[in-house]
Amino acid sequence: MTDLYARLGIDFDQLGCVMLDCEPPTFLHDLVPPTFWYRDPARPGEYGPEMQAHVTLLFGLIRNANTIRAEVDEVLEGWRAPEFFEASKRAPLKLFGGPGAPYDCIVLRPSYDLGYSDAHRRLSRLPHINTFPDYQAHVTVGYVIKGAGKYLLPDLERALSERRTPLQLAHTGLNYGRAEGEPYA
């Protein structure tokens, strides 16, 4: 499918996104042994523990969200961003990662939607490629070496379940993604 998009002149690295930033889940980062974090020398700073945490509201905009801020704001008019992301107590963690990916992506699932799906629906009115047909709000904890996630999840879930209150990550603002043409860090 990527070849199809390339033939159409669509570069996945240039697709736009809108995110709702939040505090990073450093509580969980501290529980992962440093040697388990996945690192990609070609993209330093992009993998490992996620220090620029966010809930992606929509990825796949045909245009960079910074260039269509007025339109993004227009479709989000009346939508209220939640104050914080609250991790689910029942099934707080999930692993993502395609079969060819060299990593497992550990993500936190929300205890309830808090309007993320509404923002996704509103933003979907803008021209975009539906790269993820089943929208699932989440906060990325980080990227670990392929296969390590299944060993880490039990300890991370136990640590979350032992907390007196659910893990809450304060939202810090709407994020329109990288500036147009800006490469990945």
CB atoms within 10 A of CB 108: 27
Distance (Å, rounded) from C-alpha 117 to C-alpha 104? 24
Distance (Å, rounded) from C-alpha 178 to C-alpha 164? 37
CB atoms within 10 A of CB 31: 13
Distance (Å, rounded) from C-alpha 20 to C-alpha 177? 10
Q: What is the pLDDT of residue 152?
A: 97
**Looking at residues 135-152, what average pLDDT do you find?**
95
Residue 18 has pLDDT above 90, yes or no: yes
Backbone phi, psi, residue 54, to 5°: -165, 165
Predicted confidence band at 27 (pLDDT cuts at 50, 70, 90)? very high
Residue 181 has pLDDT above 80, yes or no: no
Residue 185 has pLDDT above 60, yes or no: no
pTM: 0.88
